[in-house]
């Protein structure tokens, strides 16, 4: 498992598991990822936003937000786009994903990027993203982002941990019935003019056993739905999870494969789940059983599946995700993408869908709102609640009675002595409130300081940047968020000697060596 995958596959899941079973809330992370949560935070600045003191909250802005440039790829839902445009950000929305080279061209210019499961934000791409401060994954999976490199560059990553879980679970239910009744083959035959009324090899699902691999948000939701339709549910997970209904945990993947009539995969893409189901595992499945994959294309060894289907070992399969997927709608699904495509499409009772597990109106608008809201809160207020690669830090709002407050955000390498040095720089101002937390090698400090004269901002900023230069390898990103009423626009910052808007400062500083 790469560290990046470890961050999302391991920590988040563990956090949720612990919060489920113990009902503890030792960190914002724990409660945020808990399934019962109905997390829907309104955009910053909206009338009912944030804290109990919301009536008195003063809106923070990095600068004239018309200058925030956002690139959205892969057809992000309008509900999300509207929130970003509503903030005055410049939003470019593209329906497909981009090739790595096209992406590099585009990403250099933007502070915010929104993607879905297809766009790969690799180390190479991120190294070119000199202005980027935040990534929004408008989906569940974050395996397409090099989370560690992003964190090392001070770029926060947000996702939507469960807004499309129900949509995936419902799709799986439909696939179980469709496979059991050979529905898609019958439909295709009739589309081609052939009447073929058969009952041989067609089954009810009542009383059959569903084996769920990965009992997280989607797996556990599926468990409840399948049981309500009379199926017996068994599951296997690397973590100890709470069984829902009468679902039964089995000790190993092998036990599950040996017992299940239907096997449905709901694990993240990690190095451990690569080819989780290959020839060896297929051989352990019951004769005439069914395999369903709505997780990630890397989880099944497809040539082995093709072989198991041809031999009759598998009575059917449903595949929604593929190792290589087309960039956008209308693109070809051919051997050019995956060398075995022609063999796969020629098989009987195989349902193939174009990665639509989470593609419902409900899921996409909910994801649009959730992720855009998180992006706005991060850009405008520095809050990292829900971030998948950064410590989760938030402070209550700056209130209207605070005339000259500045919010300092300092993302730095997690080494001894930094806080002392930062507070030394902030020494001449009252620190109204401050929070710091770390995750791995990255630490995140947020402080609201008062009585800051306009002319002092530059010195503060430069001192923090100089501190950043001391780290080897360098990790130190400063963002200053300003109360609108005090420093209303970019020109006043220019007057204060700051060459560009505050949110861009840390990135500009990159060229001067303050930011890796
Ligand atoms: N087809 C589609 O459109 C969609 C696909 N997905 C995929 O589904 C995956 C699962 O989503 P959620 O249920 O929300 O994730 P989750 O994180 O809530 O649950 C995943 C579960 O898998 C378990 N797990 C990890 N490695 C395992 C292994 N080797 N063996 C057994 N269990 C293992 C984890 O402990 C966890 O309980 C996502 O990571 C994403 O890749 C998610 C949404 C839509
Ligand atoms: O949420 C996920 O992880 C998914 O796989 C859905 O991805 P999509 O938004 O359809 O690209």
Quick one: which of 486, 475, 498 has its CA closest to 448? 486
Cα 212 to middle of ligand 2, angstroms: 19
State the pLDDT at residue 140: 96
DSSP 180-244: HTTHHHHHHHHHTT------TT----TTPEEEEE--SHHHHHHHHHHHHTT-EEEEE-SS--PPP
CB 115 within 8 A of CB 98: no
* Tens digit of each residue's pLDDT (9 = 90 or more) over 331-369: 789 999 999 999 999 999 999 999 999 999 999 999 999
Nearest ligand to residue 293 Cα: 1
Q: 293 — phi, psi (to 5°)?
A: -130, 105
Low-confidence ranges of the chain (pLDDT < 50): 1-55, 63-65, 484-516
- Predicted pLDDT of residue 51: 40
CA–CA separation, 364 and 76 (whole Å)? 8
CA distance linking residue 214 with residue 210, whole number of Å: 13
Ligand 2 pocket by Cβ (under 6 Å) = 74, 116-118, 139-141, 164, 355, 357-359
Ligand 2 pocket test: pick from 5, 117, 296, 364 the residue with the most ligand atoms within 8 Å of its Cβ.
Answer: 117
Ligand located closest to 353 CA: 1
| Residue having the nearest C-alpha atom to atom 34 of ligand 1 | 214
Site to probe by mutation for ligand 1, drawn from 1, 36, 140, 144 as the one with most ligand atoms within 8 Å of Cβ, is: 140
* Residues with catalytic roles: 296, 325, 355
- In this prediction, residue 26 carries a pLDDT of 27
- 218 CA closest ligand 1 atom index: 13
For the four alpha carbons of 370, 104, 294 and 255, in that order, the dihedral sign comes to: negative
The CA 378 to ligand 2 mean position distance, Å, reads: 22
Q: How far does residue 370's CA lie from ligand 2's centre (Å)?
A: 14
Cβ atoms of 135 and 155 within 8 Å: the answer is yes
Check residue 474 and give its pLDDT. 55
Q: What is the side-by-side strand order in the sheet with 209-213? A: 248-249, 232-236, 209-213, 262-265, 289-293, 314-319, 350-352
Say if CB 326 and CB 333 are below 8 A apart: yes
Is the CB of residue 358 below 6 angstroms from any atom belonging to ligand 1?
yes
d(CA 260, CA 304): 19
Q: What is the pLDDT of residues 122-169, one digit of tens each?
A: 999 999 998 899 999 999 999 999 999 999 889 999 999 999 999 999
User: Of 127, 132, 91, 92, which Cα lies nearest the Cα of 110?
Assistant: 132
Say yes or no: CB of residue 295 within 6 Å of ligand 1.
yes
**What element of type H or E holds 69?**
strand 69-72
pLDDT of residue 18: 27
Ligand 2 pocket test target in 72, 94, 141, 296 with most atoms within 8 Å of CB? 141
* pLDDT value for 478: 64
- 48 Cα–ligand 2 center, Å: 30
The H or E element that residue 362 is part of is helix 361-381
How far apart are the CA of 248 and the centre of ligand 1, in A? Answer: 18
> In terms of Cα–Cα distance, which of 273, 341, 269 is closest to 303?
341
Considering only CA atoms, which of 484, 498, 487, 396 is closest in space to residue 446? 396
* pLDDT value at residue 480: 63
Polymer length in residues for the chain: 516
């Amino acid at each position: 498992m790469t560290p990046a995958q470890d961050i999302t596959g391991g920590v988040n899941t563990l956090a949720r598991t612990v919060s489920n079973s113990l009902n503890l809330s030792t960190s914002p992370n724990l409660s945020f990822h808990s399934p019962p949560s109905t997390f829907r935070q309104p955009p910053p600045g909206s009338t009912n936003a944030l804290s109990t003191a919301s009536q008195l909250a003063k809106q923070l802005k990095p600068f004239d937000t018309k200058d925030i440039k956002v690139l959205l790829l892969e057809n992000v839902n309008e509900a999300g786009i509207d929130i970003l445009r509503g903030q005055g950000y410049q939003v470019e929305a593209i329906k497909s994903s981009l090739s790595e080279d096209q992406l590099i061209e585009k990403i250099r210019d933007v502070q915010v990027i929104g993607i879905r499961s297809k766009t790969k934000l690799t180390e190479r791409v991120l190294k070119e993203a000199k202005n980027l401060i935040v990534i929004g994954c408008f989906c569940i999976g974050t395996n397409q982002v090099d989370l560690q490199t992003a964190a090392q560059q001070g770029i926060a990553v947000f996702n939507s941990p469960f807004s499309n879980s129900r949509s995936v679970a419902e799709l799986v239910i439909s696939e179980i019935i469709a496979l059991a009744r050979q529905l898609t083959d019958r439909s295709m035959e009739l589309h081609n003019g052939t009447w073929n009324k058969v009952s041989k090899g067609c089954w009810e699902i009542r009383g059959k056993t569903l084996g769920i691999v990965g009992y997280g948000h989607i797996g556990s939701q599926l468990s409840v739905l399948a049981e309500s339709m009379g199926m017996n549910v068994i599951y296997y997970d690397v973590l100890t999870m709470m069984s829902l209904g009468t679902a039964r945990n089995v000790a190993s993947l092998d036990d599950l494969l040996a017992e299940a009539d239907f096997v449905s995969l709901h694990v993240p893409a990690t190095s451990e789940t690569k080819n989780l189901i290959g020839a060896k595992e297929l051989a352990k499945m019951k004769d005439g059983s069914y395999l369903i994959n709505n997780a990630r294309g890397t989880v099944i060894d497809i040539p082995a599946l093709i072989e198991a289907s041809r031999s009759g070992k598998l009575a059917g399969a449903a595949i929604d995700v593929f190792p290589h997927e087309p960039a956008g709608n209308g693109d070809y699904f051919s051997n050019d993408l995956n060398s075995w495509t022609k063999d796969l499409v020629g098989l009987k009772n195989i349902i193939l869908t174009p990665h639509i597990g989470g593609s419902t109106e409900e899921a996409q608008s909910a994801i649009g709102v959730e992720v855009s809201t998180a992006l706005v809160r991060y850009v405008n207020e520095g809050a990292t609640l829900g971030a998948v690669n950064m410590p989760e830090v938030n402070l209550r709002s700056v209130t209207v009675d605070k005339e000259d407050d500045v919010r300092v955000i300092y993302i730095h390498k997690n080494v001894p002595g930094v806080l002392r040095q930062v507070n030394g720089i902030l020494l001449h101002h009252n620190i109204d409130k401050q929070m710091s937390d770390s995750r791995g090698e990255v630490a995140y400090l947020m402080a609201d300081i008062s009585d800051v004269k306009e002319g002092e901002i530059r010195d503060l900023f430069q001192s923090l940047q100089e501190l950043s230069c001391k780290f080897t390898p360098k990790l130190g990103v400063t963002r200053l968020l300003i109360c609108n009423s005090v420093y209303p626009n970019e020109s006043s910052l220019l007057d204060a000697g700051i060459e560009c808007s505050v949110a861009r400062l840390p990135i500009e500083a990159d060229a001067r060596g303050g930011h890796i």
